[in-house]
Each structure stands twice: as structure tokens, then as C-alpha cells.
Amino acid sequence: MILAKSCHDLDIFVWLLGKQCKKVSSYGGLYLFRPEKAPEGAAKRCLDGCLAKADCPYDAEKIYITNERTGIRTVVREGKTGDAAWPCCVLTPNDLSEAAVRKALETGPYGRCVYACDNDVVDHQVVNMEFEDGITVDFQMTAFTGEGGRTIHICGTKGDIKGNLGKNKVILTQFGRTPVSFEVAEGDMSGHAGGDNRLNLLVKLQRELGLTYLFIAHDLSMVKHISDRVGVMYMGHIVELASSKELYANPQHPYTKALLSAIPIPNPEKEKNKVVLPLEGEVGSPINCGPGCRFASRCKYATERCKNETPVLKEIEKEHFAACHLFD
């Protein structure tokens, strides 16, 4: 969970501190969203006559249809569109009507009971870190919070700083003085706290001004959206390089194929039937890599040569490069 959804939060800590992390410990688990924790009378789907829905805060009908803040009835009444219609726009982006949302809940993954979703992802986790100069950081990820979103609390020797991403507000308190509040955002803040809109602005400027960006990200859909040419890296080495169109249509390196197979498909039936290429084996040490391909420990095609000789990036098709002994 931390690597999938919160790695950028950890990046922010390193950026803010400008120091190296010396020690890490982490604990967590899947406590609540398990079949044995389901309330009595719970159905497999929220709209299938669930007897527990009256007292269930996770009832999909409440969240996506009747809730004043998140339900489709409010979306329709207030004429919301796009990201402003979240979370309903995730279910039916092309049809923001109650009938469409209801059908999506009856047939798609968002209508399944949270206790019966084959979930193997933690619902709470804490990461404790010690940085240079005795600085400590604790990061908590939890499903059990009323507001969601992200908050930060920085405790210093002369004061503290509190930030709330959802409210776009930072409060600075110098000990012994009155707290001062700052609004830290301007413009349209919908779509990942304004991030989606800023990304689209980058694309617009790129096209209008002919700009070149070096764009580094782990979100493969975002990379496809903004990039003309894509390089795939594994443990610091570029393993494949091609135009965005070519790489997403015709991946060649085993690592690239596995990455692209894991991209979510915004279609419940296609997502359910897609084949994800598993990556097994242990991730090697980025500090002491040794000889050979850095992906060898996780590659089903690895040979003794792969373990002892580092492959070089070479052109395998026109303007399509890969670093893999399979293409020798």
C-alpha cells in the first residue's frame, strides 16, 4: 500500500528535510475489511437486499446515490460535471445520471460489499523513520478517518506547522504567539488537489510553446498522457526506450510488459478479465548491485549470463531500444 499509493508522501519528507533516512520500521495490517468481520445479514452486493445497510457506513447506495456530499442526486441537482462530480464521475464518467450510477453499482466492483471484495490490501499502516541529525518522522495511512485526504504536522523547537491538503490551508504557530493561517492554493483545485489541472496546463504549454520536459512519475497512465517518448527504469538503469505510442502498444522488455499489464482498465468487465503478468522473486539491493542484469532476480527468462553480464541498451526496432540479453 505504501509503495502503491503513498510513495510520493515519503518523497516529500526527504525533500522537506534534505537529509538521508537512516532507519525504517513499519507495521500495519488488514483489520476490518474481511469476510469474518461482515455484519449479520450483509449481502454480497449493497443493492441486493442487504439487511445491514441501515447501520453500515460503507453502504454504496448511501455513498454514491443519497449522500448530500458525494451522491449522484446532489451531482444532478447542482449540475456538477467532471472532477466536481467525484466520486460518481469515477463510476460513470460519460453518464452522470442516477440510473447509470445505480446500474454501475448493481453490476460493477463499486457495488460489492466492502467485506466481500477479496481484499488483501492493508487498511492501516504506520511507517517510522529516523533521519540524519536525530530527526524522526512517523507516517500513518488509514482507511478509518472521516475526512480522508492528507494532513501534515511538523513539530519544531520554536513552533509547529499544520497543513491540510483538503482545506488548502497551513497554520503556523510560533510558541508563545498567536497562530497564523495561510491559504496556499489558487485556481481550480479539483482533481487530486489541483494536480490534474496543472498537468493539463503543462501539456497545453508543451504544445503551444514547443517545450521539452523531463517528466518522472510512477503513474503509467499519466506518463502516457504527457509524454512523447518514454524511458522505463529499473533500479536506476533504463531498460527500455521508445516513443510513447510504440512503447505502450509494443512493449519488449519483460519488466515493461509486467508494468503495463498492471495498469487499471476503466471498464469493470475488461478489468476483471485482464491478465496481469506477475513479478516474483526478490528485489535486489540498489546499494550493492553487483554484476549482471538488475532485473534478473525477478525475471522468468533469466539465465546465468543475465546474472553475470549487464545488458546494454540497444536498438531492437527502429527507434525502439531495450537492455536485455533476449535480443542478442
Q: Give the angle subtended at the CA of 143 by the CAs of 138 and 148, to the nearest 5°.
A: 85
Instruction: Give residue 299's pLDDT.
Output: 93
* Secondary structure string (H, E, C) spanning the chain: CHHHHCHHHHHHHHHHHCCCEEEEEEEEECCCCCHHHCCCCCCCECCCCCCCHHHCCCCHHHHHHHCCCCCHHHHHHHCCCHHHHCCHHHHCCCCCCHHHHHHHHHHCHHHECCCCCCCCCCCEEEEEEEEHHHCEEEEEEECCCCCCCCEEEEECCCEEEEEECCCCEEEEEECCCCCEEEECCCCCCCCCCCHHHHHHHHHHHHHHHCCCCCCCCCCHHHHHHHCCEEEEEECCEEEEEEEHHHHHHCCCCHHHHHHHHCCCCCCHHHHHHCCCCCCCCCCCCCCCCCCCCCCHHHCCCCCHHHHHCCCCCEEEECCEEECCHHHC
Burial 285-310, CB ≥16 within 10 A → b, else e = eeeeeeebbbbbebbeebeeebeeee
Q: What is the pLDDT of residues 203-259, one digit of tens each?
A: 888 888 888 888 888 778 888 888 899 999 998 899 999 999 999 999 999 999 999
What is the arithmetic mean of pLDDT over 93-116?
A: 93
Backbone conformation region of residue 82, classed left if phi is above 0, alpha if psi is from -120 to 50, else beta: left
**Strands 320-322, 151-155: parallel, antiparallel or unpaired by DSSP?**
unpaired
- pLDDT level of residue 44 (50, 70, 90 thresholds): very high
Q: Phi and psi at residue 199, in whole multiples of 5°?
A: -65, -45
Please state the separation of Cα 19 from the chain's center in Å.
Answer: 25
Instruction: Give residue 3's pLDDT.
Output: 73
Lowest model confidence (mean pLDDT) among 43-52, 264-273, 311-320: 264-273
Identify which has the larger pLDDT, 180 or 201: 180
Instruction: Give residue 191's pLDDT.
Output: 62
Question: CA-to-CA distance for 46 and 68, rounded, in angstroms?
Answer: 19
Question: Is the confidence at residue 264, as pLDDT, over 90?
Answer: no
What is the arithmetic mean of pLDDT over 293-298?
A: 92
Instruction: Give residue 196's pLDDT.
Output: 67
99: exposed, middle or buried (Cβ count in 10 Å: 0-12, 13-18, 19+): exposed
Identify which has the larger pLDDT, 282 or 103: 103
100: exposed, middle or buried (Cβ count in 10 Å: 0-12, 13-18, 19+): middle
Instruction: Give residue 10's pLDDT.
Output: 87
Instruction: Give residue 128's pLDDT.
Output: 96
- pLDDT level of residue 188 (50, 70, 90 thresholds): low
Q: Quick one: fold of 214-327? A: Rossmann fold (3.40.50)
Instruction: Give residue 327's pLDDT.
Output: 92
**Strands 229-234, 169-174: parallel, antiparallel or unpaired by DSSP?**
unpaired
Joined together, the cell numbers standing for residue 281 give 522473486
Q: Give the angle subtended at the CA of 109 by the CAs of 103 and 111, to the nearest 5°.
A: 55
Q: Cell 502516457, residue?
A: 224
What is the arithmetic mean of pLDDT over 307-319?
A: 94
Nearest alpha-carbon partner for 299 in 234, 204, 205, 245: 234
Domain extent listing, the chain: 35-111, 148-210, 214-327
